Amino acid sequence: MSGKRLVNAYKNFDKNQVFSLKEAIELVKQNATAKFDETIDLAINLGVDPKHADQMIRGVCQLPHGNGKTVRVAVFAKDAKADEAKAAGADIVGAENLVDSILAGKIDFDRCIATPDMMGLAGRVARVLGPKGLMPNPKLGTVTADVATAVKNAKAGEVQYRVEKNGIVHAGVAKASFSADQIYDNAKLFIDTIMKAKPASLKGTYLKKISISSTMGVGVRVDSNNL
């Protein structure tokens, strides 16, 4: 069924044509016809080599309208900080018990936060959480004493991004049910965030290509020269 959907969607436009961001969003919304609320995904192809530390594009972006995803948050904290995390809406809060749960293979969360004093404990599960992109990291704001804000940001639609080996950054920036204006606001802010992350040492083209798609839909190329 997805193959037929793609074929029908491609009948509406030239897949090699580039569109303004607003036009691309309209096309993606029109073709998001699955029976569930599809995720709107941005794929940005960058001219960087992640093997070089200074070209590792990684960070967080707080989307103005959230991304429509329910994020389950786990927090390594104790005492007063544990209470703060729970009050802010954390789904799981613990210390040694959280380590034991993770080592037992129970990872019922999408984001993991830790207070600085708990990083020694969290380090015991680094081999489990690291490959899944879940290990708390100061650069991503997930190692912090302000656990309440970190939890609220995660719940509000904060997107973490990291460039892949092939130089592409992916992010789910909205749901198909969002209005075109909401999708535009989120997508534009994410693109701007990536643009500001351009390494000072980079030579050559930084932004190569942008495309936007829905979960079951086609990729629509965005004209990066008119953003």
Measured from the Cβ of residue 206, the count of other Cβ atoms closer than 10 Å reads 16
In a domain, 93, yes or no: yes
Regarding whether 125 and 25 lie in a shared domain, the answer is: no
Regarding whether 215 and 178 lie in a shared domain, the answer is: yes
Regarding whether 169 and 150 lie in a shared domain, the answer is: no
DSSP code of residue 179: -
pLDDT tens digits along 78-104: 999 999 999 999 999 999 999 999 999
Q: Residue 225 has what pLDDT? A: 82
In a domain, 4, yes or no: no
The number of distinct structural domains making up the chain is 2
Q: Which domain holds residue 143?
A: 73-155
In a domain, 84, yes or no: yes
pLDDT tens digits along 194-225: 999 999 888 889 999 999 999 998 889 999 88
Regarding whether 63 and 80 lie in a shared domain, the answer is: no
Regarding whether 211 and 195 lie in a shared domain, the answer is: yes
* Identity of the residue numbered 83: D
Regarding whether 43 and 19 lie in a shared domain, the answer is: yes
In a domain, 5, yes or no: no
In a domain, 218, yes or no: yes
In a domain, 8, yes or no: no
Regarding whether 112 and 83 lie in a shared domain, the answer is: yes
The CATH number given to whatever domain includes residue 108 is 3.40.50.790
Q: Residue 206 has what pLDDT? A: 95
Regarding whether 50 and 100 lie in a shared domain, the answer is: no
SS3 of 89-139: CCCEEECHHHHHHHHCCCCCCCEEEECHHHHHHHHHHHHHHHHHCCCCCHH
Regarding whether 165 and 62 lie in a shared domain, the answer is: yes
Tokens of 108: 């019922």
Mean pLDDT value of segment 170-192: 96
Give the domain-ending residue among 134, 155, 176: 155
Least confident of 5-9, 89-93, 152-156, 196-200: 5-9
Give the domain-ending residue among 140, 155, 170: 155
Cα–Cα distances (Å) from 74 to 107, 109, 211, in that order, read: 9, 6, 32
pTM for the complete prediction? 0.81
In a domain, 2, yes or no: no
In a domain, 7, yes or no: no
Q: Residue 201 has what pLDDT? A: 86
- Whether the pLDDT of residue 33 is over 50: the answer is yes
Give the domain-ending residue among 124, 155, 186: 155
